[in-house]
Each structure stands twice: as structure tokens, then as C-alpha cells.
Structure 1
Amino acid sequence: MLADGEFNRRSLLRGAAVLAGTAGLLGRAVPALADSGDALFKAGRFEEAGRAYEEILKRDPRNLPAARGRGYVGLLGNRFADAEKYLKMAVALAPGDKDASYLLADCYIRQDKFAQSVPHWKAAGEDNYAKWFAAVRGAGYQIHGESARVPLTQLDPTPLVEASVNGGPAKRFSFYTGAPNLSLSASVAKEAGLVPVASQKVDFEGGSVWGHYGILESFKLGGIELRNVPVGWSATESGENVGTDNDGLIGTWVFYHLLTTFDYAGRRLILRRRTPSTARQVRAAAIRAGAKPLPLWLAREQYMHSTGTFTGADGSRTGVVGVNLGGGNEIAAGLVGETAKQLGIRTDHDRQIGTFAQSHPAVVYPCYPKEIRLGNAAAQQIYCYTNPNQKVNVPLPFGTGFNTLGWFSHAFWKPYNITVDFTDMNLYIAQGPAT
């Protein structure tokens, strides 16, 4: 499990959310340097890892893992020129390397270069994604409007906002940064006249449903409208809605096209165009409010990460953590089993909780860290859970390939407003409602 409620990239949240390894070296190996670069990367020391990979490539320009690793470092920080340079190098060295092709395809869709992503999705074995992005005609994610303040009509158990699909009446949408694309319920997709350009049957919670991919003409959140948007929807075998809690789900792809403040304390989403000017204004306001810039990394299409700290009876650890905004969960954070065990975090093993992770059953246990912290935002002795079977590191293609201590979840954010800046790749967390 990557995080609470997250599905793997071949499952439903990949294309239609439930609603409403390393290859062998080419050429001469440089084991000491290669080991160093990979170790730094796995430890979340990404800039150092990037420099180590560059040193490897100076000595051995045909070193596939170093080229792919250096490209991935660039992609984590949305430094697209770097990412393209090294991932193209990796693909040229090994056209059959699915991980390099997958990362390069992701690099292109983050820039809305959908046509360029298509051959790389195919090479990565993602034929439905290839068909989906090949179907985009003209510029995707066209933004109309300058800003919007969209009230949360509900905070618990899952935050909801109202949005319009193709100019229709308001629909209830949840949001979750553990999901990639914008998704609709089957009934809303039918109402909007959507026709799938690709479909797949996927496993879900002990059964199966159909995930469909298409292109939506218009999606409007308050004063912000997005046009020509890749969208997914899910349906039962009979074509009915999979769930009834909402009409759709807004994933990270929508948010990384905007400058978004998740104003939990003020119970709203604040959406702005992503421009250097708005980024400077928001950055200045966040710093005045006492928020310091935290690093932001984006892995595997949608998974946001930063640096956080967990503290237990046996000490503290600071490292890479997942940042999950939205969704529905009563916990403030989730911890991988090793983190809870090593830090001596109080865990109630007598009260196991049956849940789902990556659309499959999982067993977790309540736990209570002495403190969890992201920058100036912190909580003490707060309810979390730990999964003893969750690994610290899951390699590509099913994981991020780097170590994480755990993730921060819905309940943690309630006293704060959180601004996610995908231009400068920073995260800002400030106490109270946003101004």
C-alpha cells in the first residue's frame, strides 16, 4: 500500500475512480557509484542522487540505471528539460525498458504533450493510456477564468464541492490527491454524452468493474473552467454507478494545472491560474502567515510527497512522507510498519481494522505517535494507523522506488490551509483559514 486508500496504477483510480527491478547495465558497470546513486535516491536524498548519477554517466555514458535514475530525479521536481534529456537517453539505450518509457510518458503528460506521450505509453505496456491520450484533439486542460473560491459543502467523511459538467447543473465532487485524473460516475458520464475511447475491466474490492476513458468538453469549478479534459468513469457490468456518495472525483492532474490552496480551516478550495505572478503572491502571503516552504515531489503521475517527522517513545525520524489531501479518512497519518516499530510508537494490536488498500483487503492497527510534523504543522498523540505489512520501499512500476516513513491524511489538515505550488515545487502549510 502506498498510502491510505491509494490504488496501484493498473487499478480503478488509475483511469476511473470509484465514486459517486532494475534493468541490467548496458556497457561498462560502475558498481560503487551506481550503488551510491541508488542508495541516495532510495533514502530520499534526491539532489545528491542526481549528482551521483551524473558522475556515473560521465564515466559510463551507456549506464541505463543512471540515465533513468537521473531522469526520474528531474521528473520528481517537475524539471522537465532535465527529465526529458535523461529519460530520452535511457529509452535510446534500452527501448524495451518499460520503467524509462513510463517515466518519459508521464513527463510528457505533465506538460500536456499528449501526442508525444503516446508511443511511450505503448512501450510501457499501457495501451489504454496510449489510446486515451491519442484521442485528445487540440490543447488539453484549457483554463478559462482567473480564480475561484469554491466552498466545501461537506468536510466529513469526505470533502465535497460543487462543479458543473458540460454546462449542466451542479454535481457533488470529492477530491483526492491520491487519485490521478478527473473522474465521473457512470450516470454523469452518460448525461454528459461521453463515449469511451478505451475501456478495461479492473479488480475492485473482491469484484470487478469497468473503467472507461474519454475526453470531457467542460468542467467548471466556480469561476475556473477547464476545457478539453481527459476524464475517466467507472461502471458495473450492467452500466450502473459503482458508488453513490458523490458524482465524481477530482484528482491531482486537475490540481497541478492550477495553483491550489486546500483551505481546510476555511472549508473551501481556492483555485488560481498558475503564473509566476500568482505564485509570487501566494508564496509571500503564505510566508507572512508563518508557513515556511517545504519541498514538494511528484511521483508516479499523482503521488505528492514532502519531508515530515514521526516521533515515538524511542526517538524521531525525519524523511520523505506522502501528502494526501482530500479523500476520506479519520486518521491523521498512516505509518509503514517499520517506522512504527523502530520508533516505539504505541500500537493497539488488539484492535485490528479491516480496510482496503490498492483495491485489495488490508489489515491495519491503531497507533498513537508522540508527535507527527510537517514544517510548522504538528499534532501530538493523535489517532493514526500502521500497516505492519506495508514496505518502506516498493520499486517501479507499482511503487515510487524510494523510501517513505508514512503519509499524512485527511484529519491532520483540518486546522490548516495548504497551498500546493507545482511551479516552484513547494508546499506551504499555514494555521487557520487562508486570507
Structure 2
Amino acid sequence: MTSRDESQTFDRRTLLRGAGLAAAMALPIAALADASAAARAMTPDELLQNGAATPDELFRNGEFAEAARGYRRRLHDDPEDAHAAARLGYIALLSNRFGPAETFLSRAVDLDPGDVASRRRLAECFVRQDRHARAVPLLRQTGDQRDAAFARLTGTPWRIEGAAGTRVPFHTLDPVPSVEAALNGGPGRKFLLDTYGTLDLSAEAAEEAGLRALATVPGGVADNKPVTIYLGVLDSLRIGRIEIRDLPVQWIDMRRPPLPDGSQPAGVIGTTVFYHFLTTMDYADRALVLRRRTEAQRRRFQARARRSGASVLPLWLAGDHYPCTLGAVQDSGPRMVTLDMGGIGHGLDTTAEIAERLGIAVDRDHPLPGNGPTLYPITAERISLGRASGRDVRGHAAEKVFPGFPGPGQSAQFGFDLLANITHEFFKPYAITFDYGGMDFYVAGG
């Protein structure tokens, strides 16, 4: 299921992603709250028990386990508390705990039939399990044009054939990594890799693959012209020794930044594909590694990760393609961040407000060129994901949050605050692995 809330603003990042999906209105991110010394000394559970923090406040701060305990108490006291049920279901969905997610989201929808967000998240719960038939009736009831279009896609999606795993060399490292893949048995084409993306083709690649649009939806405006998104089903995507059959796909008629040789990429391979594997983007050795999501594969990988001293961090998935974990910028301490391979020429995205609160100078004298909202250069002295760290990391700061801005720009639609988005340049010394079975994120090397 592709996202309904990406930006209508087509800067270099949006062009790379090729999405242009209908945007939800993003609200300004809540400021990083100042807490009293006494409150800072309390644990999240103590804050909850002492009334110093509500479950909603803990949720917004990314303290999901503690927030869930508070919502369970509320639901125990009032079994018809639809909001508590909805939040418990959402928290479970973020961690791919499908049983509790289905139970609580179903309860939330029963208690409040007008809760479109919970209905959509319940559909996402089934989509993540490739249970398309269970998702369709829910998607038809949201009143959203994109949901209705996705519900028209038929068949059993995401059948995986071929080897147990494959390693494919990067064709390019910059502007972002790319690999060779083949559509519908055709010749190999170059695809960009982007964890902030879905599976998105160029119009030319879609035509060459013989794709037929099953539905269309409006996708915003580019170069003062309306953009149409075409939705269909791709028979086959072959990456190395693995073939994936019957994939939902989209394409739009606009060009992306060229590869270094001047050629146009055939599209973007993103998290909706990576999600179906134990996926490693090995920046250091320049390769994409896909392993089938079996328990045996996971155990072998975990053993190697332990031997290599890799950092292991929690992984959450917001929407269908926004991976989140805990990261630190400057002296912030671990806070919620998003993980994005698609930032051209930089390693950090945040807002000017957050940057200045963290003591990062915002260069307002040299705004970055582009047609979208204003971005300024920043340089963070320190960024870390677990033990992996970067020094003097160049980044972008937005003067204000706008739809599609990575990291903090997604805070309103996710419901929890994000400190930043960690992106391309930070990852270059490392191999990063997404385990959507165990919901762990690994960073090795450096």
C-alpha cells in the first residue's frame, strides 16, 4: 500500500522519489519541551504514575511502552475508551505485533466507526502480512481516493521465488545507491534505492514492461502542471537471484535526476520491497543484500552481527515505508528519528527550530537553491545511531515544516515527534540492516 501523504512539493528529494502523492496537511512540529529538573529525573513510568505525563504525552515523545501501559489502564477503567484502544493498536502496528494491532484497532473502529485513521491502520496491518483480501473492504470504507484505488488491485501479492538470498553490487553510490534489476523478464535496468520510497517506476520503464494502469489518482503539481499517479501490478521484479511476483507498483510521467553516466534510472526500489526481506544496504562494501525472512536466516545474521560488534537498535515502521529508530544529534540523547537513504549530498534533515535548540548554527545567509520551501545549510558536530557516529555531518534545516519534509515534517501525520532524519552521507562508512521480523535495526562497520 503506497503512502497517501507524501509531498506535493517537487524538490530534488521528491524528484528522486518520484512519488508526488496527495499530501496531508502537516502541522508545525511540537517544540522540544523543556522539563523541570525533577521531571527529568523521573523515569517515564514514574512520570505516568505521578501524573506528570499523560499517555498521550509519552506517545508523542516516542515512549511507546510506557504510553501503552497508561492506555491499558484507561481501557481497563473505561472499556469504551476508543482513543485508548486506537493508540494501543497503533503502538502494536508500529512494532509489527499484528495480533494486538488487529485486536485493538478493530475495537477502536467498532467503538468509533468514524475513526478513519484506525480503519486505515487496520488495513495496513493486513497489508503488511500480505493479506490483501482482508485489507480491501477496509480501504473501500475510508473515503480516500488512493485507498479505493489500491483496493482495486487483485491477486496474491509479493510471491518470492528463487534463491534464499542474493547480494547485488551497487552500480552507483552517489547521488544515492543504485542497483540493477529486471522488470517482467526484460533486460537489467538501473534502479535507485531509497528507504523513504515504495516501488516506483519511470513512465518509460512502465511502458516497456507492458504495465496497464488499474487506477489513477492525482499527485500534486510539478512545474506548474498537475501530476497523475498510475497504479498497477508488476508481474515480476528480479533482483540478483531473487524474483518477486505480483507487486503493487506506481509510475508517474516525470524525470528523475540522472545517474552519473547521464542515463535515467528506471525507478526507485524502496521499503515496500525491502520490508519483505532481511535487507542489508552495505554502503562500505557497496552492495545490496536480500535474505528471505526465515528464522534460520535471522539467527545466522544475528550471530554474525554479534561477532562484528554491530549496534542493535529498535525499529518501528510508520505508514508503509517510513522506518524509524532512536538516534542522537549533538547532546540530545536518543530520540525518535527516521532513516532515509535518499538525501542527496547530506546526512541530516531537521528544522531550524530544532537545530538551534541543539546548538547547531543555521546558515540563513545562504539558503539552498530550489523551488520549494526554504532550506538552510547546517553542520552537526555529532550524530549517532547506537555506537555508530558521524562527525561534522552536513545537513538541511527547514525554516518551517512542510508536507513531505523528511523526519520532523512527518511528526504531525505520525502523531509522535521526530528529532531528525538520518540520511545518505551518514551511512557511507557502515552496513545497515533492517529486520522487519524482529523489528531491529543494525549498524555495523565504521
Asked if TM exceeds 0.5, the reply is yes
1:354–1:34 CA distance, 2 compared to 1 (3 A): farther
SS in 1 for 2:332: strand
- The equivalent residue for 1:425 is 439
Alignment of 1:338 onto 2:349 = no
Q: What corresponds to 1:175 in structure 2? A: 193
Q: Counterpart of 1:423 in 2: which secondary structure? A: coil
Tell whether the 8 Å contact from 2:149 to 2:216 is kept in structure 1 after alignment.
no
Whether 1:68 aligns to 2:86 is yes
For the 8 Å contact 2:181–2:240, the answer to whether it is kept is: yes
Q: Is the 8 A contact 1:295 1:427 kept in 2?
A: yes
**In the alignment, is the contact (CA less than 8 A) between 2:192 and 2:269 conserved in 1?**
yes
Aligned residues: 401
Aligned mate of 1:84, from 97, 102, 110: 102
What does 1:47-62 correspond to in 2, within 5 Å? 47-62=65-80
Alpha-carbon distance in structure 1 between the residues aligned to 2:343 and 2:332: 27
Contact 2:152 2:215 in 1 (8 A): no
- Change over 3 Å in CA distance of 1:10–1:58 after alignment to 2: farther
2:338 is the counterpart of 1:322: yes
C-alpha contact 2:353 2:399 (8 A) present in aligned 1:
yes
Structure 2 match to 1:406: 420
Deviations 1:387-417 (A, max 9, x none): 1312886688x62110111010101100000
Structure 1 counterpart of 2:200, one-letter code: S
Q: Which residue of 2 aligns with 1:297?
A: 316
Work out which of the residue numbers 126, 129, 140 in structure 2 matches 1:108.
126
CA distance in 1: counterparts of 2:18 and 2:410, whole angstroms: 25
Partner of 2:112: 94
Question: What is the rounded CA distance, in whole Å, between the counterparts of 2:18 and 2:428 in structure 1?
Answer: 24
Q: Deviations over 1:76-114 (max 9, x none)?
A: 100011111100001111122111111111111111111
Q: Which amino acid aligns with 1:333?
A: L
TM-score (norm 1): 0.86
Q: Is the 8 A contact 2:327 2:335 kept in 1?
A: yes
**Whole-angstrom distance in 1 between the partners of 2:274 and 2:289:** 11
Q: What is the distance in 1 between the residues matched to 2:256 and 2:79?
A: 50
* Structure-1 separation of matches of 2:51 and 2:423: 36
Q: CA deviation at 1:254?
A: 0.4
Shift of 1:10: 7.4
Q: Quick one: which of 280, 298, 301 aligns to 1:261? A: 280
Secondary structure of the structure 1 residue equivalent to 2:110: helix
Instruction: Give the counterpart letter for 1:429 in structure 2.
Output: V
Equivalent residue for 1:216, pick from 234, 249, 252:
234
**In structure 1, what residue type is equivalent to 2:299?**
R
Residues 401 and 409, structure 2, Cα contact 8 Å, conserved in 1: no
Whether 1:199 aligns to 2:216 is yes
| Contact map agreement 2:201 2:251 (CA 8 A) in 1 | yes
Q: Does 1:350 align with 2:365?
A: yes
Match among 294, 301, 306 for residue 282 of structure 1: 301
Instruction: Summarize deviations over 1:12-69 as a string: whole Å, max 9, x none.
Output: 999x9528x9xxxxxxxxxx98971111100000111111111110011111111111
Look up the equivalent residue of 1:344 and give its one-letter code.
Answer: G
Contact 2:176–2:343 at 8 Å: present in 1 too? yes
CA separation in 1, counterparts of 2:110 and 2:338? 32
| Aligned with 1:46 (options 64, 69, 72) | 64
How far does residue 242 in structure 1 lie from its aligned partner after superposition? 6.7
Residue 284 of structure 1 deviates from its aligned partner by: 1.5
Counterpart AA for 1:285? R
With the length of structure 2 as denominator, give the TM-score of the two structures: 0.84
Rate the CA distance shift 1:344–1:35 in 2: closer, same or farther, 3 A.
Answer: closer
Deviation at 1:160, TM superposition (A): 1.2
Name stretches of at least 5 consecutive residues in structure 1 with no aligned partner.
1-5, 22-31
Aligned equivalents of 2:338, 2:171: Cα separation in 1: 26
Q: Which residue is 1:310 aligned to?
A: 329
The answer for the alignment partner of 1:376 in structure 2 is 387
Equivalent AA in structure 1 for residue 429 of structure 2: P
Q: Give the Cα separation in 2 of the matches to 1:77 and 1:176.
A: 21
| Structure 2: gaps (5+ residues) | 20-24, 26-49, 259-263
What is the deviation of 1:328?
4.3
State the Cα distance separating 1:302 from its structure 2 match.
0.9
Q: Deviations over 1:290-333 (max 9, x none)?
A: 1121010100111111101111xxx43431011112x2411111
Q: Which amino acid aligns with 1:384?
A: G
1:365 pairs with 2:380: no
Partner of 2:38: none
Percent same amino acid among aligned pairs?
36
The residue identity in structure 1 corresponding to 2:142 is: A
